[in-house]
Amino acid sequence: AQAANLKIFSDKPEIFRPQFGGFDAESIANGFVVEADPQNFLVIEHALYLFRTMEGRMAFAADAGLRAKAQTQWSKLKNDTFR
Protein backbone atom coordinates (compact mmCIF):
# COMPACT_ATOMS: atom_id res chain seq x y z
CA ALA A 1 0.00 0.00 0.00
CA GLN A 2 2.82 2.40 0.81
CA ALA A 3 4.40 1.95 -2.63
CA ALA A 4 1.03 2.50 -4.31
CA ASN A 5 0.48 5.72 -2.33
CA LEU A 6 3.96 6.95 -3.23
CA LYS A 7 3.25 6.28 -6.92
CA ILE A 8 -0.01 8.27 -6.73
CA PHE A 9 1.81 11.11 -4.97
CA SER A 10 4.59 11.08 -7.56
CA ASP A 11 2.15 11.06 -10.48
CA LYS A 12 -0.36 13.59 -9.12
CA PRO A 13 0.97 15.60 -6.17
CA GLU A 14 -1.82 18.17 -6.59
CA ILE A 15 -4.28 15.65 -5.15
CA PHE A 16 -2.46 15.91 -1.81
CA ARG A 17 -2.11 19.70 -1.79
CA PRO A 18 -4.73 21.32 0.47
CA GLN A 19 -7.16 23.68 -1.19
CA PHE A 20 -7.10 27.39 -0.31
CA GLY A 21 -3.47 27.39 0.78
CA GLY A 22 -4.27 25.05 3.65
CA PHE A 23 -6.45 27.61 5.41
CA ASP A 24 -9.87 26.87 6.90
CA ALA A 25 -12.19 26.27 3.94
CA GLU A 26 -15.36 27.41 5.72
CA SER A 27 -13.76 30.72 6.71
CA ILE A 28 -12.57 31.24 3.14
CA ALA A 29 -16.17 30.77 1.98
CA ASN A 30 -17.15 33.52 4.43
CA GLY A 31 -14.52 35.89 3.08
CA PHE A 32 -11.72 35.71 5.63
CA VAL A 33 -8.56 33.70 6.24
CA VAL A 34 -8.15 31.56 9.37
CA GLU A 35 -5.54 28.91 10.17
CA ALA A 36 -6.82 25.33 9.93
CA ASP A 37 -6.13 22.22 11.97
CA PRO A 38 -4.48 19.75 9.55
CA GLN A 39 -6.01 16.85 11.47
CA ASN A 40 -9.49 18.23 10.73
CA PHE A 41 -9.83 17.54 7.01
CA LEU A 42 -12.21 16.37 4.32
CA VAL A 43 -11.59 14.95 0.84
CA ILE A 44 -14.26 15.78 -1.75
CA GLU A 45 -13.83 14.76 -5.39
CA HIS A 46 -10.06 14.26 -5.03
CA ALA A 47 -9.59 17.65 -3.31
CA LEU A 48 -8.25 18.03 0.24
CA TYR A 49 -9.91 20.67 2.43
CA LEU A 50 -8.73 21.66 5.91
CA PHE A 51 -10.87 23.13 8.70
CA ARG A 52 -10.47 24.92 12.01
CA THR A 53 -13.49 23.23 13.62
CA MET A 54 -15.48 20.04 13.22
CA GLU A 55 -18.63 22.17 12.90
CA GLY A 56 -17.12 24.01 9.93
CA ARG A 57 -16.12 20.70 8.38
CA MET A 58 -19.65 19.32 8.74
CA ALA A 59 -21.22 22.49 7.30
CA PHE A 60 -18.84 22.45 4.34
CA ALA A 61 -19.52 18.77 3.67
CA ALA A 62 -23.27 19.30 3.73
CA ASP A 63 -23.42 22.35 1.46
CA ALA A 64 -21.95 22.26 -2.05
CA GLY A 65 -22.78 25.95 -2.29
CA LEU A 66 -20.11 26.67 0.32
CA ARG A 67 -17.51 25.00 -1.88
CA ALA A 68 -18.45 27.20 -4.83
CA LYS A 69 -18.50 30.28 -2.60
CA ALA A 70 -15.08 29.39 -1.20
CA GLN A 71 -13.64 29.09 -4.72
CA THR A 72 -14.95 32.55 -5.57
CA GLN A 73 -13.72 34.09 -2.33
CA TRP A 74 -10.29 32.43 -2.61
CA SER A 75 -9.70 34.09 -5.97
CA LYS A 76 -10.07 37.42 -4.13
CA LEU A 77 -8.16 36.47 -0.96
CA LYS A 78 -5.21 34.42 -2.19
CA ASN A 79 -3.06 37.32 -3.38
CA ASP A 80 -3.28 39.06 0.00
CA THR A 81 -2.52 35.95 2.05
CA PHE A 82 1.00 35.24 3.27
CA ARG A 83 2.51 32.38 5.24
Strands 37-44 and 47-51 come out as: antiparallel
Query: How many Cβ atoms are within 10 Å of 1's Cβ, its own excluded?
Result: 5
Please compute the mean of the pLDDT values over residues 42-47 and round it to a whole number: 88
Q: What is the reported pLDDT for 32?
A: 93
pLDDT at 83 over 70: no
Q: 27: closest CA among 81, 73, 79, 64? A: 73
Please compute the mean of the pLDDT values over residues 46-70 and round it to a whole number: 95
Residues in a beta bridge with 43:
48
Confidence of residue 4 (pLDDT cuts 50, 70, 90): confident
Q: Compute CA distances 41 → 5, 37, 54, 76, whole Å.
A: 18, 8, 9, 23
